[in-house]
Amino acid sequence: MTLSPSPRALPRLVVLLSGSGSNLQAILDACASGALSAQVALVVSNRKAAYGLTRAAQAGVPTLYFPLKPYTDAGKSRAQYDADLAAQLAPFQPDLIVLAGWMHVFSPAFLSCFAGKVVNLHPALPGMFPGAHAIARAYDAWRRGEIAHSGCMVHFAVPEVDAGPVIAQRIVPFQPGDTLEAYEARMHTAEHELIVEAIRLALAT
Ligand code: GAR
Q: Is 192 close to ligand 1, i.e. is its CB under 6 Å away?
A: no
User: What pLDDT is attached to residue 6?
Assistant: 54
pTM for the structure as a whole = 0.95
Number of structural domains, the chain?
A: 1
CA–CA gap between residue 196 and residue 126 (Å, rounded): 19
At residue 7 the predicted structure's pLDDT band, cuts being 50, 70 and 90, is: low
Q: Is 22 close to ligand 1, i.e. is its CB under 6 Å away?
A: yes
In the reported structure, the alpha carbon of residue 36 is separated from the centroid of ligand 1 by a whole-number distance in angstroms of 20
At residue 198 the predicted structure's pLDDT band, cuts being 50, 70 and 90, is: very high
Q: Is residue 170 part of a domain?
A: yes
CATH number at residue 158: 3.40.50.170
Structure confidence by residue, pLDDT tens digits, 105-131: 999 999 999 999 999 999 999 999 999
Q: Is residue 149 part of a domain?
A: yes
Are 48 and 77 in contact by the 8 Å Cβ rule? The answer is: no
Closest CA to 163 of 205, 129, 136: 129
Rounded to the nearest integer, the mean pLDDT of the chain is 96
Residues involved in catalysis: 122
Helices (DSSP H) in the chain: which residue ranges? 22-33, 51-58, 69-73, 78-89, 108-111, 134-143, 180-204
Domain that includes residue 195, residue range: 12-204
Q: Is residue 6 part of a domain?
A: no
CA–CA gap between residue 175 and residue 201 (Å, rounded): 30
